[in-house]
Structure 1
Amino acid sequence: MMLRSVNKLFVRSSAGALRRATRSLVSTSARTPSRVSVATSAPAIGSRLYSTRSTVIQLLDNIGSKREVEQYLKYFTSVNSQQFAVIKVGGAIITDYLQELASSLAFLYHVGLYPVVLHGTGPQINEILEQEGVIPDYIDGIRITDSKTMEVVRKCFLEQNLKLVTALEELGVRARPITGGVFSAEYLDQEKYHLVGKITSVNKTAIEASINAGALPILTSLAETPDGQILNVNADVAAGELARVMEPLKIVYLNEKGGLLHGVTGEKISVINLDEEYEDLLKEPWVKYGTKLKIKEIKELLTYLPRSSSVAIISVNDLQKELFTDSGAGTLIRRGYRLHARDNLDQFPSKEQLRTALARDPDVQSNKISIASYLRGLEGVSFKAYGDEPLEVLAIVRNGQENEIPVLDKLLASKNGWLNNVTDNVWSAIRKDYAQLQWVISESDENSSWHFSNADGSFAKNGKILFWYGIEDTKAISDLIADFSKKSVLESVNSGSNPTASAVKKSVSGVFQQTRSFSTTRSTPFFSSRGQLNANPNPPLKDGTNTKPAKVALIGARGYTGQALIDLINRHPYLEIAHVSSRENAGRPLAGYTKASINYENLQVEDIKRLEESGAVDVWVMALPNGVCQPFVNAIDEARNPAKNSVIIDLSADYRFDETNQWTYGLPELNNRAEIAKARKISNPGCYATAAQLAIAPILEYIPIDAVPSVFGVSGYSGAGTKPSPKNDVENLRDNLIPYSLTDHIHEREVSSQLGKQIAFTPHVAAWFQGISHTINIPLKEKLSSRDIRNIYQDRYAGEKLITVTGEAPLVKDVSGKHGVVIGGFGVNKKQDRVVIVATIDNLLKGAATQCLQNINIALGYGEYDGIPVDHVIRG
């Protein structure tokens, strides 16, 4: 059984910050009656709630990575709202931790999650009974509830329910008290226990109505007989019966201990995999009384629920940590599967299942190696393979020769494997068998934080990271790094890359001191699909020779694009953020940036002028709404320091139609890169416009003069910005598609202007968060086959690392979070006079932040792709 490593002090301080942030976020709205009125329409409430969603997610990033938070949000929203979670709250929580509980529930509410909350009231009942001189009586742990006690029970339930609902509404959360009508019951044993019930059925109508109205349902565990008699039911039992009907992803029990504690070590048990551990766990001498009963009840509960369901026993302070991070914070209990360790390929019951698991390997997906050749390479090799029954996670360790450190050759996990902590279970099994281990991953691996947390030390070079654990000898570590570096250099030479720096993360023994790790890539000759030297008239420049650090000032960087650019600069070898300006966030620390401690400022025009005069800024990035950046640009122009040529990148549309020849349009794959390299003012293209131009440009000469290509564009709602509107109101977008700006959209004019060809463009917004899909109808003036057209595109974009040409129509879900553009489909009609091309792009990355960084790199003489994880691009 593995104990998930948690820094308790950090978790507690983060939870406190989250609670304070929640109160700050909703304090104004809570004082405005119309904003919490139950008469307010659900769409209006939805608009308000989702206006804070991005802020809440950024705050959640404080306790986990952006990847973890977004991954779990997608997971939790993959089912109906009623099926997210059932949360059972102990009565003591409401008494002692009411504000913490309300804040935690408010965070879930503000990201669009609707847990079904059921609370008990045991301590409060005991207190009142004692005050009245009544001694509580129990049989077999069940409270005997006579009519006098029932009077107190009912009163306490109603008071505690109202107290929680009121606390939530003070935080701007719509909450609905549901104190009856859910649980039907019969007498458990009327003669023995009196008014204690055994639940016979659950009516979820009131719960569904509450969630559909945009309100959290707050339930008591009171039940009724068919003739209307109120019966007392144990809240844990009621929560279990409720879960059987709702079938939620999560069943959460909030208690003061924050989880189940090991009876010998006193440590919190992190994960219990019932299929693997249940029988052995019940044999432990410390598993008795209430602990044994709790584990048995949970086992019975989960037996008939989907395997995706799990139980979490957690403290209220750690609720976000448990729900939104891989490491968790409380005790996670799930059915899981038994784990198996195999040292021979013949021991796998299904070779197809094994092939499916290996198909997740990035080397297989990039065609560096085939599955068959990899499996053949395991023949005659000493190895051990670990995995659960369905192989949601597969790990393969090569044992090596005598005195050699074993190598974790593969660790391949599905999304379910990560979400359900199967990876941790497999890792625990590996740690038991191997006292020492080494392994290598790509720097762009989205789960790199997990690897860092499970390693004793690491060393990065040329886009790869070496990890190890259990190695204490300094010479052994040095030899390990030397061997890794040698292989890295050989791979670099073979691939044409040029290593410029390396980094070592300090090991547990204190041998190494951490530095930053960077790598640059050098362009190599590319050939077209027809064997000709590439026909790209504007190939990427050779990597620049500049290695001097440069300081960046971001003006107006609180939005999604600003945060994406901050993340990219954070990994850039030479760029550093010097100033970040946002009126709303002034004084707050800049989240997600680790190179230095930076606070938001509220820079005025005179501040911009002063900084430019002093030469304190090398790159100005204007991340402002359309129509407002001219005063800042003018200030920079007036204060130009002749000894230092700063660069301005404008992310708005203000200068995309410039006729003064002072601004260069920064679309590197289509524009002359040499012009961008010498430009001092660069207008960053729009997101829709980037994808549309790249999808149309290669075939321009084949379009009739009077024909108008038609672009049907659909964007995720992040493209509508953070300011609340119907276009970023997720409730309004649910089961919906919103067309807008039906004619003369600014990107229609932008694309037409840049291509010198009129196009028609109709934008839409959909319910996903980020990513754009274009379906483009293009008339043809001569007959071309689909293969002909695809070859044209492959030749045109040969050597472009951020453009992928594929025969399939690309999907927006595959480009979200990626740094390039995918162009494909190439559907030609029977007459061969029309082609339909599909292009996808992440509007926040290549549609904005990634392209901005490309332009900065070119203008400052760095490698064009420095700081951009080019491996994180879809390949055709």
Structure 2
Amino acid sequence: MEGDLPGQANAVNVGSSILQGASLPVISGGEFNSSEGDHNRITITILQGVPRQRDDRHEASSTLHQGQRNLRRDHMVSRDLSDVQGEECIEEQSSNAVRQRDNTSVWGIQSVAQTDRDTITRLLYSIGTKREVERHLHIFSSSSNPSQPAKFAVIKVGGAVLSNLDELALSLSFLYRVGLYPVVLHGAKPQLNEIMKREGVVPNYIDGIRVTDAKTLQIARRVFLEENLKLVSALEKLGTRARPITSGVFTAEYLDKEKYKLFGKITKVDKRPIEASIRDGALPILTSLAETADGQILNVSAGIAAGELAKELEPMKIVFLNNKGGLFHGVTGEKLDVINLDEEYVTLMKEPWVKYGTKLKLREFKELLDHLPRLSSVAVISASSLQKELFTDSGAGTLIRRGYKLFKHDNIGEIGVDRFCQVVHDRDPEVLAGFQSVTDVLSDLEKTPYSVYGDESLDVVAIVSHPEGEVPVMTKMLSSRGGVLSDLMDNVFNAIKKDHWKLFWTAPADDENRAWHFERADGSFTREGKSLFWHGVKDVAEVEKIIKDYEANGRIERSFLPVAPSAPPHRLVTSPRGTRGFSTMARRFLRNLPGSSRGSATAAAPTPSTQPELLGLIEARGFTGQALTTLPPAHHSHVSSRQLAGYPLDGYTKTPVTYSNLSPQDVESLEKSGEVDDWVMALPNGVCKPFVDAIDRGAKERETGEGSVVVGLSADYKFEKGRTCGLPGEASS
């Protein structure tokens, strides 16, 4: 049995321990389609949490911190497993039976690592949406490769941050648990000043630079090594492998020996010790000490060392951790969320409130980013908010990036035909799939008036076709990976919306940025492998009229008609009255609302029934399914989940209900016998059809001749005849 495999029970304990007391939010979007294997206990622990709204930032942060604190308990399990692995590897030499057991134990340890990553990833959902977290995690994970393993981030830790070592270690452990390896470099200024004061050495600064005599360097070296080992030990206690690297990375020369004595200027960075550490699965922890070519140790600025390190490694993120959590306006005291240097640097440096330290920081950040790829950015943040800064679009500290300057032209000649053609050749999904050539794209542009939007570096290029008197169509939205990560797509899209308050566009159903399209659209549907999106149109009849005009004028290649059902529907997707129609997002499940109808616009409002309706819920394991199990009006007859089959439905007190694993054949039998009044399909797109077909077959054999109501949260039947898509009182007949 799988549950008897060595290591599996331990894997369950790891996940459960991490999530004790943690509650995860209901993720917007209506579905949770992820595969975590067969670790049912972990899934149950996660889903037992009380759903929270994403805007509840304080509680979400508390949830994350609770999960962080529980990491301390988990490292003992992982270390025990490592000990078991070592013992079994010795026994492996004695017999084949033991060898077989050892292989299983190794599987168990790998299972723990994967479970750890999945669990921590889910815990990150408490600070942002599932799509945000997974998109950023995917981008960061893919930034490094075996030949260049240090491309994720350089994190500079201020000495003041080291005073709260537990918070820092937990934040770094979170990154390690999801497979990310930042390069950590720390200073120790307050600790050094304290020791020097205790030993009667007065700090001496010239031009903000510490004058480092032999006595000061001796103390500095001791303090740096002590603080480095403290951080390494704190990480190791959490089960996070870390390697102290206190020399061999920075080569320096004297900045001014007469003036600053043993203070250096970095001339070379050797990244080999750092990359070797990451390849061995350990976080590299560096100090800000350098050596001359002949071996003399020199003190260097930790901030400058982090910058030089970043120039050598070219990471996606350079993070400066401080206790303030960002940069702040000198007059209003408000935190600065984003600084786009290309647009704002000159203006900011002239502001009267930008003085001294702030001006120096901005100058250093600009000089650093000018040497790095445009995709790189600097974040100033506190250790406790590191996850939110890295894995959400809104961030938490101050983001500094080179930025962009947007343009709008009425002819591609103004950005250069060759440059535009190269973008189309490299990014257009139609061209990459062979459905169009670059020449075809150029020919299509000549058919209607158009505008081209984008940024100067062409990380994002969009084409909007806008013939006189017709609704505009965004025919192209071509973004580089950097354009997605830096939110440049959103800025270009917002510029388009300012000019065109109604807009339609299409995208392949398997587009890698498909989630972006759904989140920005007011409505959408997918047919034959292509999705149609629209913004600024709320009425379905208007949508259908616009699409008919598009097809008549040859502006849309595929047939997207009919948009709405043409016959009286018999399925109802209910939602609060007055909210947005034809949304791709699932709304709250409400039953028998006064004023709602079963699908006919002329139907009278039903009289609320006092007889409880028996609800069958298919796939209750995801976030949406779990939310539906907690609705007060629901009387659950059958709750199905492949992962949770056999476990009781926690939190439901009306009657005892146990999770089952219903097949389409089971659903057909239940429908035929009339045991279920209403079915809810909390299934992802493409999975719903076999179950709905089974219900239809069972309904035909019912003695009453009337089938159950089916609520589908996917788009499988969204615009087919005989199915209702809309809100109470708004559905077309």
Smaller-chain TM-score range?
0.5 to 0.7
Secondary structure of 1:177's match?
strand
AA aligned to 2:616 is K
Alpha-carbon distance in 2 for matches of 1:649, 1:486: 42
Choose which of 204, 208, 222 in structure 2 pairs with 1:137: 204
In the alignment, what sits opposite 1:416?
A: 482
| Residue among 100, 119, 125 paired with 1:61 | 125
Q: Structure 1 residue aligned with 2:153, among 56, 63, 85?
A: 85
| Paired residue secondary structure (1:311) | strand
Paired residues in the alignment total 577
Secondary structure at 1:332 match in 2: strand
Q: What SS class does the counterpart of residue 259 from structure 1 fall into?
A: coil
Tell me the CA shift for residue 113 of structure 1.
1.0
**1:212 partnered with 2:256:** no
**CA separation in 2, counterparts of 1:247 and 1:460?**
39
User: 1:110 matched to which residue of 2?
Assistant: 177
Distance 1:25 1:640 in 2: 34
Aligned to 2:64: 18
Q: Deviations over 1:64-87 (max 9, x none)?
A: 333333333332232232222111
Partner of 1:375: 445
**Residue 214 (structure 1) shift:** 1.4
**Residue 139 of structure 1, CA deviation:** 1.0
The 1:352/1:198 distance shift into structure 2, 3 A limit, reads closer
Q: Distance in 2 between matches of 1:71 and 1:869?
A: 25
Deviation at 1:344, TM superposition (A): 3.2
- The amino acid that maps onto 1:73 is L
Distance 1:152 1:406, change over 3 A: farther
Question: Does the CA-based 8 Å contact 1:314-1:331 persist in structure 2?
Answer: yes
Instruction: Please tell me the residue identity of whatever aligns with 2:484.
Output: W
Summarize the Cα distance change of 1:438–1:91 in structure 2 as closer, same or farther, 3 Å threshold.
farther
The offset of 1:859, in angstroms, is: 2.0
Match of 2:409 in 1: 342
State the Cα deviation string for residues 61-117 of structure 1 (Å, max 9, x = none). Answer: 333333333333332232232222111111111214x33322221111111111111
| Equivalent position of 2:714 in the other structure | 867
What's the CA shift for 1:387?
0.6
Residues 267-321 of structure 1, C-alpha deviations (whole Å, 9 max, x = no match): 4434444445444444444444222322332233233333333322222232222
Q: CA RMSD in A?
A: 5.3
Residue 413 and residue 678 in structure 1: after superposition, are their counterparts in 2 closer, same or farther (change >3 A)? farther
Structural mapping, 1:202-601, within 5 Å:
202-263=269-330, 266-335=333-402, 338-350=405-417, 353=420, 356-357=423-424, 371-372=441-442, 374-379=444-449, 384-396=451-463, 411-426=477-492, 434=498, 437-440=501-504, 458=522, 467=535, 483-484=542-543, 487=546, 495-499=561-565, 513=579, 517=583, 550-552=615-617, 554=619, 557=621, 563=622, 570=624, 577=625
Residue deviations 1:588-613 (CA, integer Å, cap 9, x gap):
xx5xx5x57589xxxxxxxxxxxxxx
- Residue type of the partner of 1:107? F
Summarize the Cα distance change of 1:465–1:617 in structure 2 as closer, same or farther, 3 Å threshold: farther
Q: Using the alignment, how far apart are the partners of 1:268 and 1:549 within structure 2?
A: 52
Contact 1:649 1:852 in 2 (8 A): no
Q: Deviations over 1:583-642 (max 9, x none)?
A: xxxxxxx5xx5x57589xxxxxxxxxxxxxx97324533336xxx86x99xxxxxx999x
2:235 alignment partner, SS class? helix
The alignment status of 1:177 with 2:259, answered yes or no, reads no
Q: Please tell me whether the aligned partners of residues 461 and 502 of structure 1 are also in contact (alpha carbons under 8 angstroms).
A: no
Greater shift after overlay, 75-84 or 407-416? 407-416
Distance 2:65 2:401 in 1: 29
Mapped contact 2:642–2:660 kept (Cα < 8 A) = no
Unaligned runs of 5+ in 1: 1-6, 469-476, 521-543, 558-562, 571-576, 578-589, 600-613, 633-638, 652-662, 667-673, 682-844, 872-876
User: Would the alpha carbon gap of residues 850 and 484 (structure 1) be closer, same or farther in structure 2, given more than 3 Å must change?
Assistant: closer
Residue 716 (structure 2) pairs with residue 649 (structure 1): no
2:548–2:561 Cα contact (<8 Å) kept: no
Distance 1:170 1:17, change over 3 A: farther
CA distance in 1, matches of 2:316, 2:177: 19
Q: Aligned partners of 1:160 and 1:417: how far apart in 2?
A: 39
Name the structure 1 match of 2:48.
none
For residues 376 and 197 of structure 2, the distance between their equivalents in structure 1, rounded to whole angstroms, comes to: 40
How much identity, in percent, do the aligned residues show? 45
TM-score by length of 1: 0.55
Q: How far off its partner does 1:38 sit? A: 14
| 1:430 Cα offset (Å) | 5.7
> Larger deviation: 493-502 or 312-321?
493-502
Q: 3-state DSSP class of the match of 1:64? A: coil
| Unmatched runs of 5 consecutive residues or more in structure 2 | 1-52, 90-105, 552-558, 587-598, 601-612, 649-654, 676-680, 697-708, 719-733
Q: Which amino acid aligns with 1:138?
A: Y
Alignment map for 1:9-48 (pairs within 5 Å) = 10-25=56-71, 27-30=73-76, 33-34=79-80, 48=112
Q: Residue 196 of structure 1 corresponds to which residue in structure 2? A: 263
Shift of the alpha carbon at 1:51? 2.8
Quote how far apart the aligned CAs of 1:418 are.
0.7
Q: Partner of 1:791 in structure 2?
A: none
Cα distance in 2 for residues equivalent to 1:398 and 1:65: 33
2:499 and 2:310 map into 1 onto residues whose CA distance is 41
> TM-score, normalised on structure 2?
0.64
Hey, what's the Cα distance between the residues in 1 that align with 2:303 and 2:503?
44
Distance 1:34 1:247 in 2: 37
Distance in 2, Cα, partners of 1:293 & 1:38 = 53
| CA contact 2:249–2:290 (8 Å) conserved in 1 | yes
- How do 1:590-669 residues align onto structure 2 when only pairs under 5 Å count? 616-618=636-638, 620-623=640-643, 649-650=662-663
Tell me what 1:733 maps to: none
Counterpart of 1:166 in 2: which secondary structure? helix
Contact 2:472–2:500 (8 Å) recurs in 1: yes
In structure 2, the partner of 1:99 is 166
- Distance 1:234-1:648 versus aligned 2 partners, 3 A rule: closer
Q: Are residues 310 and 619 of structure 1, via their aligned partners in 2, closer, same or farther at CA, if it must alter by over 3 Å?
A: same
How many Å separate the matches in 2 of 1:348 and 1:494?
34
How many angstroms apart in 1 are the aligned matches of 2:156 and 2:356? Answer: 21
Per-residue deviation, residues 170-223 of structure 1 (Å, max 9, x unmatched): 222111222223222222222211221222222333322322221111111112
